[in-house]
């Protein structure tokens, strides 16, 4: 019996180590592009906001989508419905607003069914660099990203994105449209 319990504890330890992995990443793109703040699948596009669902198998470390200064942060308690649900707007969340050279970028960390904790590594007034670790949501959740005015999303519902690597929005100029980013990453 002790061998079975030890094996179960060992397997659980391996699962937790795998879940809390935090691979090194280098931010891609240029200053006029916004990178994904999370690994996962785009489950909704609402206006100019992309909703990225992080499943259990995704890396759950969130990254800064742009370089800039955190000018606002607001934590709101709430429920724990599945993060991909349309009713998850009532879930616990942490809203982070980053003032970049191009305007205000809003990133919302939303807890899902299992997570009971949103960790954010920075405070209002701190500066972040695009691709830098900014926080973590435990065990399956969602991150919404809203680029500033003058930017267009380059992703669509169903796309898989990778934090700091996938371009999710590009700055528009008056003569062109954003070029969609073809991203077939399956995460790590």
Which residues are known catalytic residues? 141
CA angle 19/145/50 to nearest 5° reads 95
In which region does residue 42 sit, left (phi positive, over 0), alpha (psi from -120 to 50) or beta (all else)?
beta
61: closest CA among 137, 145, 139?
A: 137
Q: How far apart are CA 146 and CA 148, in angstroms?
A: 7
Q: How far apart are CA 162 and CA 40, in angstroms?
A: 7
Enter the DSSP assignment of 178: P
């Amino acid at each position: 019996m002790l061998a079975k319990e030890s094996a179960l504890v060992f397997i659980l330890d391996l699962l937790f180590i795998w879940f809390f992995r935090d691979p090194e990443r280098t931010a891609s793109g240029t200053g006029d592009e916004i990178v994904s703040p999370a690994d996962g699948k785009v489950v909704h596009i609402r206006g100019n906001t992309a909703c990225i669902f992080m499943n259990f198998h995704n890396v759950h470390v969130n990254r800064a989508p742009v370089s800039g200064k955190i000018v606002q942060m607001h934590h709101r308690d709430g429920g724990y419905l599945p993060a991909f649900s349309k009713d998850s707007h009532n879930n616990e969340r942490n809203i982070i607003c980053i003032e970049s050279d191009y305007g205000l970028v809003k990133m919302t960390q939303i807890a899902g069914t299992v997570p009971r904790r949103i960790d954010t590594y920075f405070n209002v007034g701190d500066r972040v660099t695009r691709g830098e670790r900014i926080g973590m949501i435990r065990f399956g959740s969602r991150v919404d990203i809203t680029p500033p005015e003058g930017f267009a999303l380059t992703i669509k519902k169903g796309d898989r994105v990778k934090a700091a690597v996938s371009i999710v929005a590009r700055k528009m100029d008056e003569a062109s449209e954003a070029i969609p980013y073809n991203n077939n990453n399956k995460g790590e």
